[in-house]
Structure 1
Amino acid sequence: MARLNGILERITFHSETDGYTVARVLPKDKPYQVTIVGKLLGVQVGESVELEGRWVDHPEHGRQFEVERYRTVLPATVEGIRRYLGSGLIKGIGPVMARRIAETFGSYTLHVLEHEPLRLHEVSGLGPKRVDRIQQAWAEQQQIKAIMLFLQDLEITPGLAVRIYKQYGEQSLGVVQATPYRLADDVYGIGFLTADKIAQALGIPHDSPQRVGAGLRYTLSQAADEGHCFLPWAELAERGAALLGVDLAVVEATLGAIVITREVHAEAWDGQRMVYLQPFYRAERAVAERVHDLLRAPSQIAAFFRTANWARVFDFLADKRAITLTEQQREAVQMALTNKVSVLTGGPGTGKTVTTRTIIMALQQRGEKFVLASPTGRAAKRLSEATGAEASTIHRLLEFSPIGGPHFKRNLENPLDVALVVVDEVSMLDILLANSLLKAVPPHAHVLLVGDADQLPSVGPGRVLCDMLDSMAVPSIHLDTIFRQAEGSGIVANAHRINQGELPWFARQAGAEAGRINDCFFFSRPVPDMCAELVVEVVGERIPRRFGLDPRRDIQVLTPTHRGPAGVANLNVLLQAALNPADEQRPEQRFGATVFRAGDRVLQLRNNYDLEVYNGDIGEIVAIDPVEQLLTVRYDDARDVAYDFGLLDELTLAYAISVHKAQGAEYPCVVIPLLTQHYTLLQRNLLYTAVTRAKQLVVLLGDRRAIAIAVKNNRVAARYTGLARRLKAG
């Protein structure tokens, strides 16, 4: 094995996801630089590197050194120290400040940072707060380096090492060595498979109870990502055995043990055992109990309206408010005001908003308080615009706080001070959020849940809306009359055609009905690469030219899949290049394979309770600060959120997003590529959800056969949930 020692002069490429690096090194025994390639985690310009590997001749890039093992040594020269500190290693130190610090302390600089950090006050331009930040950042870097050195062979990236340190602080190495599977539960980005690599390297036996228990919890967690609240015992054991490569009997024994220790919950229905992660079991049970408690609790509002002269009420609304309701809508108004919990469903254009507004007006006549909420900020904004009343996200309504561990200030002990809670877009509501919401409803208040059961289910576990409808324990009404003002909309008409299993109509298509369509278009491009190219052309040129829409703010591409030429990942690369190309005046920051630029639309991929941003939130990058290592995103509520560069794996470009991520949103225009290569994802509720996201214009591209497949496929993936059963049981 060859050896190479030298100074790291430049990093040409570095992947945050796997650590693969292309860099230039000045060898100690040569006057010229050489190229090195390999997985180098956490290396910095200016460091001395001691490398082991082999020399190879690359057909395009020539001679280079493939690194197999490496060790870094802190720089000793003043110039090396300057470049090291100015490389972006430490927040608050850019190239200019790095030069000042290195010139002040010379070769003694790193000793000062390590042992005499208060001497940084001697440097011109460094105030007390900045000195404190630099001192803290340096200490963190040393801990992170230690973690990465320990985990070097396991390919733990700098970003993950930072997260481990943020979670456990100075106890990080102790936790990693003693209980590596805790990482999978506690640290975002480290799943069971990564934790298992660490555990295996530490010598934890293949069939140890610690490993098997962690694997079973991981399997249940994966099932929750698929929408399940539980797994049947036998299915969990089989999936766990396949994951772990362990005998089924060992898995069954460990499963029994973690049920006894209450790490998971098991119960039997109809002779079959079900296994839950505890949070989902508690939430599902609590939702059912809370619904029944609310339905049974007395209400002055219900008592009043049960004896009301409804003919006079509706006549008053018609005269004073110019509101004329269908018989279905009148029944829905009566239902919501005479029942403590009720569900209102219907497709687009069926009058859900008018019905909701009427219910609110009836309460306002009595001087009662009400609140409106939706699962996402975009849905809340739509609800507010439609009703003319203030609406908020459920998290904001319940006064979410990250302090002292994420929690809601509004709960059973501190309920909302209202008479009615209206929640829109309930198809998006998962079991955990439904539990938190219902806990905050006071016993005397009414709850109206509004949604469209034909849309995609929630991203999180459960099927709250459908379970409530299936249980028949909660009063509900489905609106199905399309109003005159919606009849002229091709989008509304096509949504209902799709929902009834009929092909949509498009502009310029032969046929009397299609002749009236001017807001739905289809372009045939069955070849995936050609379809992707047309998406870019339609978004960047055709739609803006013909309809005057802003391609970055008014048009949203929705696609069924993340992979392939017409998937989220590739379309975002193409659309970013067309709509927000690289520019010297536009700052950018690379994270893994993604380049983030000022002006980019980005999407939050997970709930981050510290930053108070949630899975599916979309915003625009407004600033990138390489010295402070912060990227700032402005979200729809005009709130600016600053992301540490280490958190950028929580963001992705959002020129194209999955249909699931678009739930609850509405855009002036949606562009939907649909191809037969998406076959396994082509479902009626997916196409229906995508089309109903558009307010003014829908453009489908791809293969007509794919549209037909989606329209005909009404099979909805089953979810393991117990809410309907619990509601029926009372």
Structure 2
Amino acid sequence: MSAGFTFDSDVTVTRVVSTLEYGAIFVGETPAGDKVRVRYLGRTELPMVGDTFAVKGQLSNWTDKFQRLHRQVESKVMKRRAVLGDLLGPFLQRVPNIGPQRAQRLMANYGHDLIQALSDPAKMDEVAGVLEPNKPALAARMTAQLFAAMAEKSAADRVKLAEAEFLVVLEKVGLREPRVANRLWRFCAGVDAIERLNNNPYLAAHLTTWRVADRVGKLLLRKVELGDDLDRHPSRLMGALASVWQELLQEGDSAAILPVVREKLTKRGVDADLALQHAEQIGNLHRRGELIRVPGAAWLEDEVARMLREIEATPGHIILPDEQSLDALIDDAERACELRLTGEQADALRKLMFLPLGVLQGGAGVGKTTVMKVLAYIWERQCGNVVFGALAGKAALQLSRGASTPDSPRLAHTLARLIGMLAQQAAFEADPVNQRRPEIEFNNKTLLVIDEAGMMDTPTFYQLLKLLPKGVRILLAGDDGQLFPVAFGKIFHDLVEERSRVAMLTKVLRQAEGSTIPLAAHQIRNGSAPVLTGWKGETKGVFLVDSEQLDSLQRSDDFMLIAARRQTVDSWNECESLKRRTDRVQIRRLGPLATIASGDPIIITRNRYKYGLFNGLLGTVTNIDGELVQVHFDDEKEPRELPQEAEVDVELAYAITCHKAQGSSAATVVLIADDGMLVTREWLYTGITRGRELVLLNAASHQKLSEAVARRANRTTGFRL
């Protein structure tokens, strides 16, 4: 293929680079095996890997930002191809025992009628004769395999055709967001997808803005409804309410007071009273006191509450010491751990020892890890076993070091690993012959200690609790002064607020080797803006930095940059990644969020429990080989392959938001406190406590810092224990 010529050929999609409102960019192959990049500027087609399109356009050379040359077709005309006989060759050759020669015989004999022939059982003997006329037994076996494969392919093709028709319907009713369209397809997938969509025309309200969902919903309603008053249609009323639920969840709330729900409905142009009345009539309005609860979130919260109550109601299997024996055990633990508890820490320990569900609350530097270490020592002396967990890898590593003694090394695991091990134990107990024995056994003598529990969202609590065997005790340790979890809910914060299960630590003890991080964090947590000096190269403490110093700052291996605004994060990621790109570095586009190269830090943006991946999990890309991407995640010994399904959940992490930083830490942390409402007391406190040795704060002025400390973050939930 030469640049500057008209292109007219079938192209089979091998990789989708990006999908846009007005088209897409993808890489594919022609029937001749030539690779080509297609920039499609139309709206009627949404390419997916494996699709074949008849593409017409102008072929030209295109140079990417890394100065590499590509052959690219600019096309406004692209039609999806049905699978024809001359495109079946590769498929036939993948069927066991067929191979290129037998595939060619079939193609030559049947031509464009091959699909019909392989779909008609009456032609099996005839096809067998074409495959191997002189070996009837072998031909019969191969024909059976071929017809089975063809039946499977035909079913898949019918679904693909249904998907294409479904997406065309969405295009016609004005939905221009490919990611939303794809998610709608996953909801409705099947040959009857269009019928399902017509039965639920406001399904898009769960996935996109109300403006888009309402336009699509009304257009779909007009196809099936004869009346003109669509504004009061029950489907629209429930669609608006679903949109409100979606907005609340995105803000981290699982409930809202009635006036807030009414206001949000009114802003959507909906009669709020009519919508709420209809929801009540069909049993889709969940109330708790003055709160209206988001339906799915309410179910999760109630399930978590039920499981926690069950933990508290289950008799223990550890013989707990009396008060005198406990004092002796504390003395023994202090000697073994080579430490001395404060009175506040000892009181916390005495309370937590007897709680099936305990909550250890304390700010930075108050000695929570010390209490956990002594509690673990005593629990083990009572013939129990202790399992430690934390949200992210670095937090787990830090907990491992802090909770261990020379005689008792204790390994902490990420929540992803814990959930995986619990699932493995359940599988082993169900089928011990065919399943691998779990690394750790959870039983009725286990104390599960979760550090940084304030960062656990409600879905993660649910995933963990539903796998715990009966009799396991839980200690949740954390700090309610930090930001709320990334996803919805704030169960730890709610438990702290309720107070009955809580042991409090308030006295700051840690000021490691001259570092002022705990002191500055304590001041912010209590509502005072610390007076900070400018940075002059110090390696420990909290200092102010200006923009010029930021530009010249050198990244180390143990470094984290946190910004308040999403635009700032994206800008830093782009600049830092480009600095490290060379012609010899292999890069790979991972969906719409990131283009990565070996050595890039990355962050996972979505929970995928079956792969052991959590929102906020950090890692480093170690290898890219074609479609293979290997990542070394923070807490793991070896790199592992990134699941293809999770590629769309990856972002670069040269800079991250403060929410994403929760649960992780670094020796050096840089905070870019962009001017705006996003910077709150909780934001500053969380950001500063990510630093272990040095924190550099880029803030507009001390006045702006004071305003941020006075500004508070809020979240509403319906969780009650």
Matches within 5 A, 1:516-535: 518-525=540-547, 535=550
SS at match of 1:367: coil
Rounded to whole Å, the distance in 2 between the matches of 1:203 and 1:722 is 34
Distance 1:109 1:715, change over 3 A: farther
Rounded to whole Å, the distance in 1 between the matches of 2:211 and 2:422 is 31
**Equivalent in the alignment of 2:494:** 467
Distance 1:644 1:436, change over 3 A: closer
SS at match of 1:697: strand
2:357/2:501 contact within 8 Å kept = yes
Matches within 5 A, 1:156-305: 163-167=183-187, 168-182=189-203, 185=206, 194-204=212-222, 205-243=230-268, 245-246=269-270, 248=271, 251-267=272-288, 269=289, 273-288=290-305, 299=316, 301=318, 304-305=320-321
Rounded to whole Å, the distance in 2 between the matches of 1:506 and 1:108 is 82
> Which of 140-149 and 257-266 deviates more?
140-149
Shift of residue 322, structure 1, vs aligned partner:
1.7
Shift of residue 680, structure 1, vs aligned partner:
0.9
Distance 1:135 1:569, change over 3 A: farther
1:36/1:66 contact within 8 Å kept = yes
**Equivalent in the alignment of 1:451:** 478
2:604/2:618 contact within 8 Å kept = yes
> Which of 173-182 and 14-23 deviates more?
14-23
Rounded to whole Å, the distance in 2 between the matches of 1:177 and 1:402 is 38
2:202/2:239 contact within 8 Å kept = yes
**One of 327, 348, 355 as aligned partner of 1:332:** 348
Shift of residue 422, structure 1, vs aligned partner:
1.3
Distance 1:111 1:649, change over 3 A: farther
**Equivalent in the alignment of 2:455:** 428
1:685/1:714 contact within 8 Å kept = no
SS at match of 2:375: helix
**One of 367, 374, 380 as aligned partner of 2:396:** 380
SS at match of 2:461: helix
**One of 632, 635, 642 as aligned partner of 2:633:** 635
SS at match of 2:497: helix
**% identical equivalent positions:** 21
**Residues 666-695 of structure 1, C-alpha deviation per residue, up to 9 Å, x if partnerless?**
12322222232xx21121221111121122
Rounded to whole Å, the distance in 1 between the matches of 2:116 and 2:160 is 11
> Is 1:698 the counterpart of 2:698 in the alignment?
no
**Equivalent in the alignment of 1:317:** 333
> Is 1:559 the counterpart of 2:567 in the alignment?
no
> Which of 108-117 and 590-599 deviates more?
108-117
> Is 1:666 the counterpart of 2:633 in the alignment?
no
Rounded to whole Å, the distance in 1 between the matches of 2:540 and 2:577 is 29
**Equivalent in the alignment of 1:149:** 168
Shift of residue 242, structure 1, vs aligned partner:
1.4
Rounded to whole Å, the distance in 2 between the matches of 1:355 and 1:610 is 33
| One-letter code aligned to 2:281 | I
> Is 1:7 the counterpart of 2:8 in the alignment?
yes
**Gapped regions of structure 2 (runs ≥ 5):** 1-5, 28-37, 58-72, 132-144, 223-229, 405-409, 431-440
Rounded to whole Å, the distance in 2 between the matches of 1:376 and 1:23 is 35
**Residues 60-112 of structure 1, C-alpha deviation per residue, up to 9 Å, x if partnerless?**
xxxxx99988755569998xx79xx99xx99x99xxx99x9999959998876
1:180/1:199 contact within 8 Å kept = yes
Distance 1:341 1:504, change over 3 A: farther
Distance 1:37 1:156, change over 3 A: closer
**Equivalent in the alignment of 1:365:** 381
Distance 1:471 1:108, change over 3 A: same
**Equivalent in the alignment of 2:19:** 16
Rounded to whole Å, the distance in 2 between the matches of 1:329 and 1:518 is 27
> Is 1:619 the counterpart of 2:588 in the alignment?
no
1:48/1:74 contact within 8 Å kept = no
1:76/1:107 contact within 8 Å kept = no
Matches within 5 A, 1:64-213: 71-72=79-80, 116=118, 141-153=160-172, 154-155=174-175, 163-167=183-187, 168-182=189-203, 185=206, 194-204=212-222, 205-213=230-238
Distance 1:451 1:572, change over 3 A: same
Distance 1:440 1:161, change over 3 A: closer
| One-letter code aligned to 1:305 | P
Rounded to whole Å, the distance in 2 between the matches of 1:17 and 1:102 is 40
Rounded to whole Å, the distance in 1 between the matches of 2:604 and 2:232 is 37
> Which of 107-116 and 274-283 deviates more?
107-116
Distance 1:377 1:137, change over 3 A: farther
| One-letter code aligned to 2:170 | L
Shift of residue 424, structure 1, vs aligned partner:
0.9
**Equivalent in the alignment of 1:589:** 589
Distance 1:472 1:518, change over 3 A: closer
Shift of residue 696, structure 1, vs aligned partner:
3.1
Shift of residue 522, structure 1, vs aligned partner:
3.2
| One-letter code aligned to 2:544 | F
Shift of residue 648, structure 1, vs aligned partner:
4.0
> Is 1:496 the counterpart of 2:522 in the alignment?
yes
Distance 1:592 1:722, change over 3 A: closer
Rounded to whole Å, the distance in 2 between the matches of 1:112 and 1:136 is 16
Shift of residue 506, structure 1, vs aligned partner:
4.4
| One-letter code aligned to 1:557 | L
Distance 1:612 1:288, change over 3 A: closer
1:524/1:704 contact within 8 Å kept = no
Shift of residue 482, structure 1, vs aligned partner:
1.4
Rounded to whole Å, the distance in 1 between the matches of 2:590 and 2:382 is 57
TM, length-normalised to structure 2:
0.74
Shift of residue 659, structure 1, vs aligned partner:
0.3
SS at match of 1:477: strand
Distance 1:310 1:665, change over 3 A: same
**Equivalent in the alignment of 1:575:** 576
SS at match of 2:602: strand
Question: 4+ runs of 1 displaced by more than 6 Å?
Answer: 8-14, 65-70, 74-78, 100-104, 106-111, 131-137, 400-403
2:16/2:47 contact within 8 Å kept = no
SS at match of 1:170: coil
SS at match of 2:693: strand
SS at match of 1:305: coil
2:416/2:614 contact within 8 Å kept = no
Matches within 5 A, 1:437-448: 437=464, 445-448=472-475
| One-letter code aligned to 1:573 | E
**Equivalent in the alignment of 1:644:** 644
TM, length-normalised to structure 1:
0.73
Rounded to whole Å, the distance in 1 between the matches of 2:220 and 2:423 is 34
**Equivalent in the alignment of 2:437:** none
1:589/1:597 contact within 8 Å kept = no
Distance 1:109 1:278, change over 3 A: farther
SS at match of 2:596: strand
1:41/1:157 contact within 8 Å kept = no
Distance 1:238 1:415, change over 3 A: farther
